[in-house]
Amino acid sequence: MPELPRKKVGIIACSGEELPEGTITRLAALKVLHQMSPEDTVTICLPLFLAGGEGDRNFARFYPTIALDGCEKQCAFRGTKKYSNRPAAAIVVTDLIAQSGLEQPHGCRKLDSAGMMVVELVAQEVASMVGELLKKGGGGIAWGKPRPIIPKWPGRAAIGDISSWETVRTWIFQLRPMHRVMQVY
């Protein structure tokens, strides 16, 4: 029997270096990757992903990903959604800081103690999401198939009703991209 690839979750971290929150996402991703869930996670390089790295894009197309964004611009989430698939989960560090009431972190290259507390919080959240996505000890999600967003059928179109036929035509053209052949890892 052929050996199938192990089920893993991709982590796409912010590449921003002008805010402490970008550093927080990268440190949290590394903590999860090396200490908390090393067998269950991989990182996806955001700059390579955006530049056209087909390996990373294909992984994100077939496996669940978690987007870690430092700010409200959400570059990791938007890039993943645009070039592969909608991330299965996402964290925006600025929102997490506001919700948890933690002190604002300082330092872009070397974080202060408040920043390291946020790194720990983000890493715990990501590790929890990884466990949920993989459904440890349980069913899990469908693997090896893309997760397309299929538009709902518009319903019965009345003959002669131009607006209904336009809706049907739009629906058919939305399905067209799903007919391409995709490689499964």
Q: Each residue of 37-68: pLDDT tens digit?
A: 999 999 999 988 888 888 889 889 889 999 99
**Chain centre distance of CA 93:** 14
CATH of span 9-134? 3.40.50
Q: Where are the domains of the chain?
A: 9-134, 150-185
pLDDT band at 148 (very low <50, low <70, confident <90, very high): very low
Total-model pTM? 0.71
Which residue carries 């089920």 as its tokens?
Answer: 7
Model confidence at 151: pLDDT above 50: no
pLDDT band at 172 (very low <50, low <70, confident <90, very high): very low
pLDDT in the model for residue 37? 92
Which residue carries 């997490």 as its tokens?
Answer: 96
pLDDT in the model for residue 53? 87
- Lowest-confidence segment of 4-8, 68-72, 114-118 by average pLDDT: 4-8
Question: What does the mean pLDDT of the chain come to?
Answer: 77
pLDDT tens per residue across span 80-132: 999 998 999 999 999 999 998 889 999 888 999 999 999 999 999 999 999 99
